[in-house]
């Protein structure tokens, strides 16, 4: 069951959906759930960008190391989980976010429920 059903993306800005450790890959995983359909609106893209800012800030500003010292120093991955394939505008934004995260040595993976992992 989707615990975010009925909560709009804009209402989840500032929230991190899940923090886990991928022991096989030696990475911290911050999961971001996007259960709502993509609508191509400026508001939706801005909310998505703000959510990524929250996740990156959590990783880079010391909050993650403070709250989870056992995970400090590990490589990080942000995993965006979608119920459907992102639209063209969202994919363009995700590509730019991917490139910026690479500078910080943070991976980005997009997982579409029916398709599995896709590249940005």
Class in CATH terms, 9-118: alpha beta
- Residue 4's pLDDT is 40
Q: Is the pTM higher than 0.75?
A: yes
Tens of pLDDT, residue by residue over 9-58, are 445 677 899 999 999 999 999 999 998 889 989 999 999 999 999 999 99
CA distance 32 to 80: 5
Instruction: Categorise residue 16: left if φ over 0, alpha if ψ from -120 to 50, beta otherwise.
Output: beta
- Residue 71's pLDDT is 86
- Residue 5's pLDDT is 40
- Residue 3's pLDDT is 42
Phi, psi of 88, deg, nearest 5: -60, -45
CA distance 120 to 107: 11
pLDDT confidence band for 117 (50 / 70 / 90): low
Helix, strand, coil fractions of the chain, as percent rounded to 5: 40, 25, 35
Tens of pLDDT, residue by residue over 69-116, are 988 889 999 999 998 899 999 999 999 999 999 999 999 999 998 665
Tens of pLDDT, residue by residue over 21-35, are 999 999 999 999 998
């Amino acid at each position: 069951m989707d615990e975010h059903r009925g909560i709009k993306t804009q209402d989840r800005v500032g929230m991190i959906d899940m923090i886990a450790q991928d022991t096989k890959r030696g990475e911290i995983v911050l999961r971001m759930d996007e259960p709502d359909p993509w609508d191509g609106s400026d508001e939706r893209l801005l909310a998505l960008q703000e959510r990524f800012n929250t996740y990156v800030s959590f990783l880079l500003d010391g909050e993650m190391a403070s709250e989870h010292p056992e995970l400090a120093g590990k490589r990080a991955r942000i995993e965006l989980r979608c119920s459907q394939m992102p639209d063209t505008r969202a994919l363009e934004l995700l590509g730019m976010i991917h490139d910026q995260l690479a500078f910080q040595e943070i991976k980005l993976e997009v997982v579409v429920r029916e398709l599995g992992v896709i590249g940005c």
